[in-house]
Chains A and B, each alone.
Chain A
Amino acid sequence: MNRLTGITANPLLIALVLIAALLFLGDALSPGFASGSQILRLLIVAALLGIVAAGQNLVILGGREGIDLSVGGVVSLSAIVAGNVMNGMDGGIPLAILACVATGALFGLFNGLGVTLLRIPPLVMTLGMLGVLQGLLVVIRQGIPSGRAAPALSEFVTRPFLFGLPGIIWLWIGVGLLMAFILHRTVFGQRVYAIGSNERAAFMAGVPVRRMRIALFMLSGVFAAIAGLCLLGYSGSSFANVGEQYMLPSIIAVVFGGTPLSGGKGGYTGTMAGAVLLVVLQSILTTINIDESGRQMVFGATLLVLMLFYGRGRGLRA
């Protein structure tokens, strides 16, 4: 078992190997699975999940059981807000982006304040916020139509933009570079790891722990909101609770990327690979000719097997 841990020391490597293996397997099962256009489609779906997972990753890195269960609600809300602000017109896009970012930041701020000032455990706070967001979605849906995506936004998400890749892939690459820069080249990033590995020590060293944590939750809200905006572009119009499918998968993408839920170590590059891995796995299951029920069982079992490769807890004897 110890030798195995040695090999699995690099989660990014495992994820990449698994992705390659799954692509080969998929192509063997149904020829054309690993074709260029198909991979591009998978990457678009992975980008949506990956952008949500960026915020989730930050909150988890910050430690103290950091987790954001409200991301799914923010994604849904943001898609509706964006749809209504732009209402099918390109001219409304800048305002829509602003509205989405503000929405995400606002709910992130609430989460952050609850977690820091009231010291509510993040799981509880964001779970409660998820309930509020879901209620808010019902209110909004009764009052106004769900809105439509502007053509330019849909094109940004689905059509090739530069070197054959759609804008959303470039956006995701940008998010990846930004996250790498923030986490490894800025004081803010150093502080994220500091509060994640030892909050007390970080506090003693003068890190504004509370403000940091609030900022992390706000960033999580903003990333989820941006994903919601892109999701609107992907599907054309928003429908009820579209974001729910991102809540727990965003956490799994982070875990598959090598960031343990205890925080303090890991990074975003692995999470990006984790998001791709999840999406490829889901897609391979849809190509196999089995029922929805069988698909779910295989998916659940495979997730468990994959988790064996990642950050297992320490043994009590260790």
Chain B
Amino acid sequence: MTTNASLTAHDSGLRRLLGRFPFLPALFILAVLLILNGIFEPNSLSFRSLTGLVRTYMALMLLAVAQTYVVYAADIDLSVGAIASLVNVTIIVLMQHMGGGGLSVLAALGVGVLVGLACGLVNGFVVAALRLQAIVATFATSIFFTGLALVILPVAGMPAPTVFWRTYGGSFFGIPFVFYAAATLAILLYLLARTRLATQLLAVGDGQQAAFQSGLPVTAIRIGGYALCGVFAALAAFCITGDTASGDPLVGAKMTLFSVAAVVLGGSALSGGFGTVAGSVIAALIIGLINSLVFFAGTPSHWQNFVQGLAILAALMVGVLVSRRGRA
């Protein structure tokens, strides 16, 4: 890396700030997008619209968080979407079989978390213990998980119990459920960031050999990262289920690559050892806001995907370029 000899004081201050808060560029992009959304469609900043945005993109936020823990350790998980699909159909079928009451929902959610955990452990085992290359190995497991999801529910369409999606889309004491969920997530992420595992994952990502030589159980830590990833993918599946109110064995497939994009956009390094989950959450919202902005800006419908693709690519570039300054 080249170093610029003529760094101004302002520059090094910015660098320190970025090193401490790598998600600042993402936060800036988020603010710009919110303003742009407001200009094109003032209504899009209403409480109601923002609730809808969070409700729809909660799943991607959680998947991005899931991906982040794996990327901390310089690994990657291309099966998060497949895990989410598998958990989605598992809980739908369980809830149906158990009658769709409140208790059955809770039981199904418990099983769902366990399924996500199990998938994560499988990924961790093949990547960390068997030392297969993460990209291809998790692609292989994603095929396996998709197969499993197809066994459980061969075709999309089984509905979720009313109590489930009513809760997810509903309000308590005037505040929408998703905001409680978001607050819980924030607390959970804050607590997780303080755990030994989070620090150890970053240490492993920074240099596996060094981490090993300073006595860290590298293999166990990487498996732990994948396990955490699996659990968050399961939580994402709950949100997908709440949002779509039905089961679909392929629902998560297209979200995998978005989760990787969100991690990068949030300022984490794919090479590991550096990053924040907060950035990934913000980045998931950025992807959501880009989609809604493209819509509100009056883009002809068949041009929308293209403009979205360009905007996400541009945001990725900005994210990578700016966050690199914090580390160089």
Stretch from B49-57, B60-68, B167-175, B299-307 at the A interface: B299-307
B244 to chain A minimum Cβ distance, whole angstroms, is 21
Contact with B along A124-137 (1 / 0, CB 8 A): 11011111111110
A313 to chain B minimum Cβ distance, whole angstroms, is 4
Contacts of B270 in A (CB 8 A): 65, 121, 123-124
The reply on B144 being an interface residue by CB < 8 A is yes
The one of A128, A294, A304 that contacts B140, using a Cβ cutoff of 8 Å: A304
The reply on B257 being an interface residue by CB < 8 A is yes
Q: Is the CB of A300 within 8 A of B313?
A: no
Q: Which of B121-177 contact A (CB under 8 A)?
A: 126, 130-133, 135-137, 139-151, 154
Category for how many chain B residues contact A: 35 or more
Q: Is the CB of B261 within 8 A of A127?
A: yes
B82 to chain A minimum Cβ distance, whole angstroms, is 9
The reply on A205 being an interface residue by CB < 8 A is no
Main secondary structure of the interface of B (DSSP, over half): helix
Main secondary structure of the interface of A (DSSP, over half): helix
User: Assuming the A-B contacts A293-B148, A294-B147, A313-B133, are A118 and B317 also in contact, with contact meaning beta carbons closer than 8 angstroms in the complex?
Assistant: yes
User: Assuming the A-B contacts A123-B270, A307-B136, A315-B131, are A296 and B147 also in contact, with contact meaning beta carbons closer than 8 angstroms in the complex?
Assistant: yes
Cα distance, A124 to B321, chains bound together (Å): 12
Q: Is the CB of A308 within 8 A of B130?
A: yes
User: Assuming the A-B contacts A132-B306, A316-B212, are A67 and B135 also in contact, with contact meaning beta carbons closer than 8 angstroms in the complex?
Assistant: yes
Cα distance, A300 to B123, chains bound together (Å): 12
User: Assuming the A-B contacts A131-B309, A138-B306, are A293 and B140 also in contact, with contact meaning beta carbons closer than 8 angstroms in the complex?
Assistant: no
Cα distance, A142 to B299, chains bound together (Å): 14
The reply on B320 being an interface residue by CB < 8 A is yes
| Residue contacts A-B, CB under 8 angstroms, 25 given | A119-B324, A123-B260, A127-B261, A128-B313, A128-B317, A129-B313, A131-B261, A131-B309, A138-B302, A139-B303, A248-B78, A248-B139, A251-B135, A252-B136, A293-B154, A294-B147, A296-B146, A297-B151, A300-B146, A300-B147, A303-B140, A304-B140, A304-B141, A307-B136, A316-B209
State the 4 A-B residue pairs at the shortest beta-carbon distance, nearest first.
A296-B147, A300-B144, A135-B306, A293-B150
